Structure 1
Amino acid sequence: MAQTKPTTTGDFAGFIQPDQAGDIFAEVRRGSVAQQLARQIPVGANGVAIPYTTSKPKAGWVAEGAKKPTTSGGKALRTIKPHKLAAITVVSAETVRANPGGYITDLYADLAEAFAIAFDAAALHGTDSPFGAGNYLAATTKAVTLGTAAATKGGLHADLNAGLSLLVADKKKLTGFAFDSVAEPLFNDAVDANGRPLFIDSPLTETSAIARGGRVLGRQAFLGDGVGLDPVVGFGGDWTKAVWGVVGGITYDVSTQAAVTIDGQLVSLFENNLVAIRAEAEYGWDVADVASFVKYNDAAGA
Structure 2
Amino acid sequence: MAQTAPTTTSEFAGFLKPDEAQAYFDEARNQSVVQQLVRQVPLGINGQEIPVTTSKPTAGWVAEGGQKPTTAGGKTLKTIKPQKIAAISVVSAEVVRANPANYIQDLRADIAEAFAIAFDAAALHGSSSPFGAGNNIAATTKAVELGTAATAAGSIFADVNAGLALLVNDKKRFTGSAWDSIAEPVFNGAVDANGRPLFIDSPTVENAATVRQGRLLGRPSFIGDGVAAGTIVGFAGDWTKAVWGVVGGISYDVSTQATVTLNGELVSLWEHNLVAVRAEAEYGWLVHDTAAFVKYTEGA
Same fold (TM over 0.5): yes
Instruction: Give the Cα separation in 1 of the matches to 2:150 and 2:62.
Output: 52
For 1:256-280, what per-residue CA distance to the aligned partner results, in whole angstroms no more than 9, with x for missing partners?
1111111112222122211110011
For 1:225-245, what per-residue CA distance to the aligned partner results, in whole angstroms no more than 9, with x for missing partners?
000112000000001111100
Structure 2 residue 158 is the aligned partner of structure 1 residue 149: no
Instruction: Give the Cα separation in 2 of the matches to 1:223 and 1:278.
Output: 29
* 2:221 aligned partner: 221
User: Percent identity over the alignment?
Assistant: 70
Shift of 1:152: 2.4
Tell me, which stretches of 5 or more residues in structure 1 are unaligned? none
* 1:111 aligned partner: 111
Matches within 5 A, 1:160-239: 160-205=160-205, 209-239=209-239
What secondary structure sits across from 2:25 in the alignment?
helix
Structure 2 residue 219 is the aligned partner of structure 1 residue 242: no
Q: Which moved more, 1:119-128 or 1:14-23?
A: 14-23
Q: Which moved more, 1:25-34 or 1:270-279?
A: 270-279
For 1:54-102, what per-residue CA distance to the aligned partner results, in whole angstroms no more than 9, with x for missing partners?
2222233444544443322222101100000100001111111112122
Shift of 1:19: 2.0
* 1:54 aligned partner: 54
Shift of 1:198: 0.8
CA contact under 8 A between 1:164 and 1:174: conserved in structure 2? yes
* 1:80 aligned partner: 80
CA contact under 8 A between 1:212 and 1:224: conserved in structure 2? yes
CA contact under 8 A between 1:201 and 1:213: conserved in structure 2? yes
Instruction: Give the Cα separation in 1 of the matches to 2:80 and 2:42.
Output: 10
CA contact under 8 A between 1:124 and 1:227: conserved in structure 2? yes
CA contact under 8 A between 1:235 and 1:294: conserved in structure 2? yes
Q: What is the TM-score with the length of structure 1 in the denominator?
A: 0.94
* 1:6 aligned partner: 6
Count of residues paired in the alignment: 298
Residues 258 and 208 from structure 1, CA distance in 2 versus in 1: closer, same or farther, beyond 3 angstroms? farther
For 1:106-162, what per-residue CA distance to the aligned partner results, in whole angstroms no more than 9, with x for missing partners?
111111111101000000000000111101010000000000114525310000000
Instruction: Give the Cα separation in 2 of the matches to 1:297 and 1:233.
Output: 5
Amino acid at match of 1:6: P
Amino acid at match of 2:108: Y
For 1:7-48, what per-residue CA distance to the aligned partner results, in whole angstroms no more than 9, with x for missing partners?
111211212122221111110000000000000110011000
* 1:121 aligned partner: 121
Instruction: Give the Cα separation in 2 of the matches to 1:4 and 1:218.
Output: 65
Amino acid at match of 2:220: Q
Instruction: Give the Cα separation in 1 of the matches to 2:274 and 2:81.
Output: 35
Amino acid at match of 2:33: V
Shift of 1:210: 2.8
Shift of 1:194: 2.2
* 1:268 aligned partner: 268
Amino acid at match of 1:180: D
Residues 25 and 63 from structure 1, CA distance in 2 versus in 1: closer, same or farther, beyond 3 angstroms? closer
What secondary structure sits across from 2:271 in the alignment?
helix
CA contact under 8 A between 2:153 and 2:193: conserved in structure 1? no
State the 4+ residue runs in structure 1 displaced beyond 6 angstroms. none
Q: What is the TM-score with the length of structure 2 in the denominator?
A: 0.95
Tell me, which stretches of 5 or more residues in structure 2 are unaligned? none
Matches within 5 A, 1:20-39: 20-39=20-39
Amino acid at match of 1:187: F
Instruction: Give the Cα separation in 2 of the matches to 1:185 and 1:53.
Output: 38
Structure 2 residue 135 is the aligned partner of structure 1 residue 135: yes
Instruction: Give the Cα separation in 2 of the matches to 1:174 and 1:168.
Output: 8
Shift of 1:187: 0.4
